[in-house]
Amino acid sequence: MEEVVFGVEHELCYVIRIPENRVTIKVPKTKAVSNGLRPLLRGKDVKDLLEVLADKSSARPSGHWAEHYKDLERRIQSGGVLQVGSAVRDLMRLKAGAGLSFEEARLLEMADGYLARELAAVQGVTVEAARDIIRSSIGVGSEGV
């Protein structure tokens, strides 16, 4: 938390630093929820995430490609870690099987990055080690991303 001056008003802000691209984001505490900020994963949440990643019952894409893509995009943009995890799982398994379109590969790269960075932060490991945890849970090798 950091106190930030907006004109004549002082407001407490959450400070989010993203070292990969040297970005710092400051979100006023009073607007955190409306801006979609949520707490990092906790112990049980990590366990739930790993269960979602390991779930073998994920549905194979059926129907129109655009509908499948929109569903994946919706899950990723939801911001919910379990939804993002399910999208990463489905995309990695699809990549290991039939392969991905350019758009799906882009979605996978983005979502895997979100998931790996958060898992790394809460587990106290490197992002690459977190990616290994994700791949291992899903049951795909290092070619997963």
Report whether pLDDT(61) > 80.
no
Q: What is the pLDDT of residue 128?
A: 94
Query: Once rounded to an integer, what is the mean pLDDT over residues 22-47?
Result: 86
pTM of the model: 0.79
CB atoms within 10 A of CB 97: 10
**What CA–CA distance (Å, rounded) separates 108 from 76?**
9
Distance between CA atoms of residues 144 and 135, nearest Å:
6
What is the mean predicted confidence (pLDDT) over 18-35?
A: 84
Mind giving me the DSSP string for 55-84?
A: -S-PPPP-S-HHHHHHHHHHHHHT--HHHH
Res. 16: pLDDT tops 80: yes
pLDDT of residue 34: 85
pLDDT, average across residues 120-132: 93
Which of 57-61, 63-67, 101-105 has the lowest average pLDDT? 57-61
* pLDDT value, residue 145: 53
Cα(132)–Cα(35) distance, integer angstroms = 31
CATH numbers and ranges of domains, the chain? 1-37 (no CATH), 38-144 (1.20.58.1290)
